[in-house]
Amino acid sequence: MLSLYNSLVLPHVEYCVSVWSPHYIKDNDILERIQHRFTRLIPGMQKLTYMERLDKLNLWTLEERRNRSDVIEVFKMANNLSPIPLTKFFELNTNNITRGHTFKLVKHRCNCEVRRHFFSERVVNRWNMLDQDTVSAKSVNGFMSKLEQEAQLMLTTGSTRLAVSRGQQTWYHSTCNI
C-alpha cells in the first residue's frame, strides 16, 4: 500500500514543488490531508495519530519534503549539476568572517510579502544552517545522505537551532521568518 502511495500519489503532489510551494497554512493543510488520509488507509494504522503513522512508516510530512527538495536544488545549482546557475537566483556571501560553511548565501531584505516566499528567498536560511561537511559533498546522493545524518543529529541532540517542537523530523524549519 505504501509503495502505491510512493509511486502513484506522491509524484503528483510533489510535481514542480520548488516553483509553486504553498506558503499559506490552509494550502499546506489541504496538501497534508492527502498524506494524512492515505496513511490512515494502511492496515493497522487507523488508531495512531498522524505523527505516529509517519514515524512508523518512515515518512516525512509533505512540507518537510518540500523543504528538503529546495535545499537539494540549491546544492545542484552550487555544484553546476543544474542547468540554472547559482548566480541567477543567489548571491554568495563574500565576507570571510562568516561562521559555518563557505557557500553561505546572502539574505536580501524583502519589502513585499509575496517575494518573501519565492524560492530564492525561502531557502537561504535553511541552506546557511547546514554545516561544511554537508555542503561540500561530492555527489547529490552524498549530499542527501549527509543531510539525513544532520537531521538525525539534530533529533538526537535536541538542538533548538533548527528543530521545532513537533517531536519528529523537522530540522528543516528555521526559527526565522521563512
Confidence of residue 155 (pLDDT cuts 50, 70, 90): low
What does the pLDDT average to over 14-29?
74
Please tell me the least confidently modeled range out of 9-13, 146-150, 161-165.
Answer: 161-165
What does the pLDDT average to over 27-41?
87
- ∠ CA(137), CA(142), CA(143), 5° rounding? 60
Q: 38-89, pLDDT tens digit by residue?
A: 899 889 998 999 999 988 988 888 888 888 888 999 999 999 998 988 888 8
pLDDT at 27: 82
**The total number of residues written for the chain in this structure:** 178
CB–CB of 64/51 below 8 Å?
A: no
Quick check: 139 pLDDT over 90? yes
DSSP string, 73-98: HHHHHHTT-SSS-HHHH--B---TT-
What global pTM score does this model have? 0.73
Backbone angles phi, psi at 92, to 5 degrees: -75, 140
Residue 16: all three cell numbers together: 514542480
pLDDT at 152: 75
CB–CB of 123/74 below 8 Å?
A: yes
Confidence of residue 19 (pLDDT cuts 50, 70, 90): low
Q: 81-115, pLDDT tens digit by residue?
A: 989 888 888 888 877 666 778 788 888 877 777 66
